[in-house]
Each structure stands twice: as structure tokens, then as C-alpha cells.
């Protein structure tokens, strides 16, 4: 317990009329999310008890700056002490988030020695081996000089002494921080690569780190090339968990997790927290979407179950999420019905921010889903909100065809040349003309000629209003 919790003398006789609408500069606005740093039992009926790690939402301030009115995840409201909670912020680290901030990549032996100067026993870094390409070197300062240990890569495992073997560098470093085990000293202090930030520290600082002990993994619901997606239980709440085991892959997913901390919308799958394990695993914990992917949902229910109003609602749900991303200058890059999930109460939410980047950057096009990607993104790697609009047109087609694969009966290698000549898919059976018209607008070859998501949302709302008044 912190010393300053003594301010909790229960002289507060707070009533609902204490809630002061004029927010002081030090106070957090209504709707701010925070995480409990300690347990709080409360001593009056008006208090809201909570446990360390609980998520709370501020719903008002009081005249006493030490107290907030808040609600918990099940909607119970009450008073909480301000110094028992930490505000949740988006991870906007100026440096590059790293699971291995002590890994310096391709540097020479001499550069490593300069970095470990002045000598400090236990100061260490890892680098790629210059003499043995594919191997690593562990460089450790000890008694005024630097020792270089070759890390041998053998049968997918790493070892220094060929007695102890490790799956990845993180496990190896973790082992030698606990025990020198033959090295000149145990690893005490990492020499961080300039510009990097330790991921665990950054997620903790901004209030997104979860405790692994509180997470129970129940069953696998999906397998991807990067790891498993599982259903889990986090302190009594059903959650979805992306489990990424390999350190290099986990490093790539840090970007996805940090993007998700900055985004909040009812039609985006919500990040709940991140667990970074010392042994190289990364768990991204999100809200659980009971009805799975939109493409599977459409295929399994079909037109006998899903009416036009339902299809239009899904179209609007996705459009509103994309309008929010557009307004915040984020580009999704992989918008498709497979990357939209459906909640228990039939709300469609956009997921998979794996490729999401700040607007208008470039990327490798080798792995791009050709049928969903705009011509300029395929040809010149130009990604923008307008390339997302193209993908949204394809997603609309998927919705109205009940999950069919786009460009039916056209061989994959012919899709791009035909599209570039102006070919557009025909309207799915039963698709309203006004909706098909929107699809065609999304497939304008010149990106500048495509509508914005805001305009698309307005047009869809107009179509919906007309249908409801028929």
C-alpha cells in the first residue's frame, strides 16, 4: 500500500449532489477508463469496492478532488479514491516498442564494446554474430572487460554451452539473469538499443498490462499462422485471447496491440489488455465475439434467416467503424468479411488490426488478399483510406451475397487485369439497386473519385430510412 493512501480518512459524506460538472484541470473527464492499482473495500454504502486490476470508468467528479464517482464492468456505481486507480492511456511511445530492447541486430564486436562502456559488471546486450551468420552473440561486461559468447543455433534451439537449450533469445536471457551458469557473471542490466522501449514497461505505464495469473485459457477457437486464438476467462469475464508464441512474431504483433490501445468505438473489437511473458509469449486479450466471423455467420444462416434490414445493419456497423478510423487517420489495409466479428447481440465489429498503420504508409504486397485490395495498393503499394473504401465495396458485395467469395468464376490471375480495365462485379441476387450503386462508387479506379466513409454512412442511413418507411 502506498503511504499516500492515508488521505482516505472517511470524512467524505458524499452525496449525488456533490457531483460537480465543472471539471478541474487535474480531474479526468467522464468516460475515462482507469485500472485499479490496489484493493479497495469501501466503508460506506456509497463506496464502490474493487480489486487490484479491475477496470473502472469515471462517470463524474466530486467537490473533493480525492474522490471520483465511477462504475465497474458490470455497471455498479459508487465512489472511488482517486489515488487507488491509474488512468488508461493509448500507447504512444516515442520509441519503438520491443520485447527484446537489449537486442541490437547487426553490429560489430567493436561497436558492442563501445556500447558497453563505461564497464559495469552485468551490463549486457545481444547482437547478430558477424563471424557466424545466423548465430547470435551475447556480450557481457565483467570486471572491466567485455566477454563475447557465441550463441549456437541448432535444430531450432539456441545454446551457449550445448547443455542448456532455449526456444528463443528471450528465454536464454531470462535464464542467465537468474543464474550465471558458467558465464563470467549473471546478466544484471540490459543495454537498451537507442530508441527502443521495453514493451512490458510501456503497457504497464499506460495501464494495459494484465496479470497472467488472472487469465484462464479454456479452449482453442481458431488457429492462425502466428498462433492460436482461444476463449479465456479473465476474472470472471469471457474473453478472446490471441496467443503468439514466437518472439519475432510477437514483436510484430506489438504494433497491433499498441494501435488497439488508441482506438475505441462500439464497432471495433475492443482490446482489454496485453500480457507480455518473459519467455517470449504475447497474449492480446480482447472482448469475446460469440457469433464468430461475419463471413461464416452469413454463410451458415443464409437468406432464409437474414433479411435485408439485418444486412443493411451489418453494412452500417462496419461503415461506422471505418468512418472512425478515417477520422483518426488510420488505415486498416485488410478489410474483409473474415476480419469482421459478430457479437452475441448481433453487432458487427471490425477486428484484426495486424496490418493497420498510420495513414498512407507502404508495405510488402506479396501477401495481400488480391480480391479485396485496391488496384493502386497492389500496383504501387499505395495504402490510404481510399484503398480501404475499395475493400469496403467488396465487403458490401460479400454481405449481400451471403458470404460468397468475390469474383466468382474468374481465375485469380485474371482478376487484377480485368479490374484495371474497368470490370466491376455484378450485383448479388436480391441486392437493392441503391446498395449496388454504392459498391460501384467504391470501385472507382481513381482513388480520388471514391466516396469517403462519412458519405457512405450517410447514404446507407438514407437507404435504411427509406426502407423503414416503406
Is residue 334 flagged as an active site residue? Answer: yes
pLDDT at site 316: 98
Asked whether residue 216 falls in the same domain as residue 138, the answer is: no
Question: Of residues 247, 317, 334, 352, which has the active-site annotation?
Answer: 334
Q: Is residue 24 part of a domain?
A: no
| pLDDT for position 222 | 86
Distance from C-alpha of 46 to C-alpha of 280, rounded to nearest angstrom = 43
If you ran DSSP here, which 8-state letter would residue 111 be given? H
Is residue 220 located within the same domain as residue 138?
A: no
Give the domain CATH number at 40. 2.30.30.40
Q: Are 334 and 377 in contact (CB under 8 A)?
A: no
In contact, 156 and 133? CB cutoff 8 Å: no
Residue 186 belongs to a domain? yes
Order of strands, sheet of 271-276, starting from the edge strand that comes earlier in the sequence: 215-223, 227-234, 237-244, 282-287, 271-276
**Stretches in the chain below the pLDDT threshold 50:** 1-25, 358-365
Q: Is residue 445 part of a domain?
A: yes
Give the pLDDT confidence score for residue 168 in this predicted structure.
Answer: 86
State the pairing for strand pair 189-190/157-159: unpaired
| 244 and 312 housed in the same domain | no
- Please choose, from the candidates 56, 106, 104, the residue with its C-alpha nearest in 3D space to the C-alpha of residue 81: 56
268 and 310 both lie in a single domain: no
**Spatial separation of the C-alpha atoms in residues 462 and 36, rounded to whole Å:** 44
Q: State the CATH number of the domain containing residue 141.
A: 3.30.505.10
CA quadruple 271, 276, 281, 285: dihedral, nearest 10? -20
Per DSSP, what are the bridge partners of residue 358? 330
218 with 264, same domain: the answer is yes
CATH of the domain at 232: 3.30.200.20
Per-residue pLDDT at 246 = 66
Q: In this predicted structure, what is the pLDDT of residue 277?
A: 82
**pLDDT for the residue 354:** 58
Note whether 403 and 337 are within 8 A (CB).
yes
Residue 2 lies in a domain: no
Given 287, 309, 331, which residue is the final one in a domain?
287
Flag whether 196 is in a domain: no
* Burial classification of residue 69, based on how many CB atoms lie within 10 Å of its CB (0-12 exposed, 13-18 middle, 19 or more buried): buried
Can you tell me the distance from the alpha carbon of 101 to that of 196, in angstroms, rounded to the nearest whole number?
6
Q: How far apart are the first and last CA of the chain?
A: 63
Find, among 347, 287, 290, the residue nearest to 320 by Cα: 347
Is the bond leading into 118 cis (omega within 30 degrees of zero)? yes
Helix pair 453-468, 385-400: axis angle to 10 deg: 30
- Statement to judge: residues 279 and 369 lie in one domain: no
* 37 neighbors 85 (Cβ within 8 angstroms): yes
State residue 133's pLDDT score. Answer: 83
Q: Residues 225, 245: contact at Cβ < 8 Å?
A: no
How far is 108 from 127, CA to CA, in rounded Å? 8
Binding-site residue set for ATP: 242
Numbered residues of the known binding site = 242
Domain range for residue 221? 212-287
pLDDT for 297: 97
User: Is 424 inside a domain boundary?
Assistant: yes
Spatial distance between the Cα atoms of 217 and 285, rounded to a whole number of angstroms: 11
CA distances to 169, 316, 317, 431, 462 from 455, rounded to whole Å, are 49, 12, 14, 20, 11
pLDDT in tens, 110-148: 999 999 999 999 999 999 988 888 789 999 999 999 999
The whole-angstrom separation of Cα 470 and Cα 466 is 6
Question: Is 120 found in the same domain as 179?
Answer: yes
Count the domains in the chain: 4
Residues 314 and 454 in one domain: yes
The pLDDT value recorded for residue 465 is 93
Q: How far apart are CA 115 and CA 108, in angstroms?
A: 11
pLDDT given for residue 391 in this prediction: 98
309 and 217 within one domain: no
* Same-domain check for residues 270 and 127: no
Residue length of the chain:
470
Q: Tell which residue, 41, 121, 35, has the closest CA to residue 86.
A: 35
Choose one of 256, 287, 318: the last residue of a domain.
Answer: 287
Q: Is residue 23 in a domain? A: no
* Residue 93 covered by a domain: no
Same domain, 429 and 387: yes
Same domain, 314 and 452: yes
What does each C-alpha distance from 325 to 33, 46, 92, 270, 320 come to in angstroms? 20, 39, 16, 14, 9
pLDDT at residue 342, as a whole number: 97
pTM score over 0.85 = no
Q: Where among 232, 253, 287 does a domain terminate?
A: 287
The domain that contains 306 carries what CATH number?
1.10.510.10
Task: Return d(Cα 92, Cα 103) in angstroms, integer.
Answer: 21
Amino acid at each position: 500500500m502506498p503511504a499516500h493512501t492515508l488521505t482516505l480518512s472517511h470524512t467524505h459524506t458524499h452525496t449525488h449532489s456533490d457531483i460537480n460538472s465543472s471539471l478541474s484541470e487535474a480531474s479526468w473527464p467522464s468516460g475515462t477508463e482507469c485500472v485499479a492499482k490496489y484493493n479497495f473495500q469501501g466503508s460506506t454504502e456509497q463506496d464502490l469496492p474493487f480489486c487490484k486490476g479491475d477496470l473502472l470508468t469515471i462517470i463524474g467528479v466530486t467537490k473533493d478532488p480525492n474522490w471520483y464517482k465511477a462504475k465497474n464492468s458490470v455497471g455498479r456505481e459508487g465512489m472511488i479514491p482517486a489515488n487507488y486507480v491509474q488512468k488508461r492511456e493509448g500507447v504512444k511511445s516515442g520509441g519503438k516498442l520491443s520485447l527484446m530492447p537489449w537486442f541490437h541486430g547487426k553490429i560489430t564486436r567493436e561497436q558492442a564494446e563501445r556500447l558497453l562502456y563505461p564497464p559495469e559488471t552485468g551490463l549486457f546486450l545481444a547482437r547478430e554474430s558477424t563471424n557466424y551468420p545466423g548465430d547470435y552473440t551475447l556480450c557481457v561486461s565483467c570486471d572491466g572487460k567485455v566477454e563475447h559468447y557465441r550463441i549456437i543455433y541448432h535444430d531450432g534451439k539456441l545454446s551457449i554451452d550445448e547443455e542448456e537449450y532455449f526456444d528463443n533469445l528471450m528465454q536464454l536471457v531470462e535464464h542467465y539473469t537468474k543464474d550465471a551458469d558458467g558465464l563470467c557473471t549473471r546478466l544484471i542490466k540490459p543495454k537498451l538499443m537507442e530508441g527502443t522501449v521495453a514493451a512490458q514497461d510501456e503497457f504497464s505505464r499506460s495501464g494495459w498490462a494484465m496479470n497472467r495469473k488472472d487469465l484462464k485459457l479454456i479452449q482453442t477457437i481458431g488457429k492462425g499462422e502466428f498462433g492460436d486464438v482461444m476463449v479465456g476467462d479473465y476474472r470472471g469475464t469471457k474473453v478472446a485471447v490471441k496467443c503468439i508464441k514466437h518472439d519475432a512474431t510477437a514483436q510484430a504483433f506489438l504494433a497491433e496491440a499498441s494501435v488497439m490501445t488508441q482506438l475505441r468505438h462500439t464497432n471495433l473489437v475492443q482490446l482489454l489488455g496485453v500480457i507480455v511473458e518473459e519467455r517470449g509469449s504475447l497474449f492480446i486479450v480482447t472482448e469475446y465475439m460469440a457469433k464468430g466471423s461475419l463471413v461464416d455467420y452469413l454463410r451458415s444462416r443464409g437468406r432464409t434467416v437474414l433479411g435485408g434490414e439485418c444486412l443493411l445493419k451489418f453494412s452500417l456497423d462496419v461503415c461506422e467503424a471505418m468512418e472512425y478510423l478515417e477520422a483518426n487517420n488510420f488505415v486498416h489495409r485488410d478489410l474483409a468479411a473474415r476480419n469482421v466479428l459478430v457479437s452475441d447481440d448481433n453487432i458487427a465489429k471490425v477486428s484484426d488490426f495486424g496490418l493497420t498503420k498510420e495513414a498512407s504508409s507502404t508495405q510488402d504486397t506479396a501477401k495481400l488478399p488480391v480480391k479485396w485490395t485496391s488496384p493502386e495498393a497492389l500496383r504501387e503499394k499505395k495504402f490510404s483510406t481510399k484503398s480501404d473504401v475499395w475493400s469496403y465495396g467488396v465487403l458490401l458485395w460479400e454481405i449481400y451475397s451471403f458470404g460468397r467469395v468475390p469474383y466468382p468464376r474468374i481465375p485469380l490471375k485474371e482478376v487484377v487485369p480485368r479490374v484495371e480495365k474497368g470490370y466491376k462485379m455484378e450485383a448479388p441476387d436480391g441486392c437493392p439497386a441503391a446498395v449496388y450503386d454504392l459498391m460501384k462508387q467504391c470501385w472507382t479506379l481513381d482513388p480520388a473519385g471514391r466516396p469517403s466513409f462519412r458519405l457512405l454512412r450517410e447514404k446507407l442511413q438514407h437507404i435504411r430510412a427509406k426502407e423503414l418507411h416503406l
